Amino acid sequence: MTDRPRQAPMPAALRAGRPPRHPALTVRCPHCAAAPDMRCTTRTGRARIQRLDPCPARLAAHATATACCTTCQSAPGYDCHHPDGTPAPVHDARYTEAKGTAA
Helix (H) or strand (E) run with residue 102 in it: none
Candidates 2-10, 12-20, 48-56, 60-68; binding stretch for Zn ion (CB under 5 A): 48-56
Does 72 sit near Zn ion (CB under 5 A)?
A: yes
Q: Give the number of other Cβ atoms within 10 Å of residue 25's Cβ.
A: 18
**Which residue in the set 71, 76, 95, 99 belongs to the binding site for Zn ion (CB under 5 A)?**
71
Pick from 59, 60, 68, 80 the residue near Zn ion by CB under 5 A. 80
Dist CA 38 CA 62 (whole Å): 14
Q: Count residues near Zn ion (CB under 5 A).
A: 12
Q: Does 91 bind Zn ion (CB under 5 A)?
A: yes
CA–CA distance, 52 with 55 (Å, rounded to integer): 9
Taking CB under 5 A as the rule, does residue 61 contact Zn ion?
A: no
Indicate the pairing of strand 41-44 with strand 47-50.
antiparallel
Report the site for Zn ion in 15-34 (rule: CB under 5 A).
29, 31-32, 34
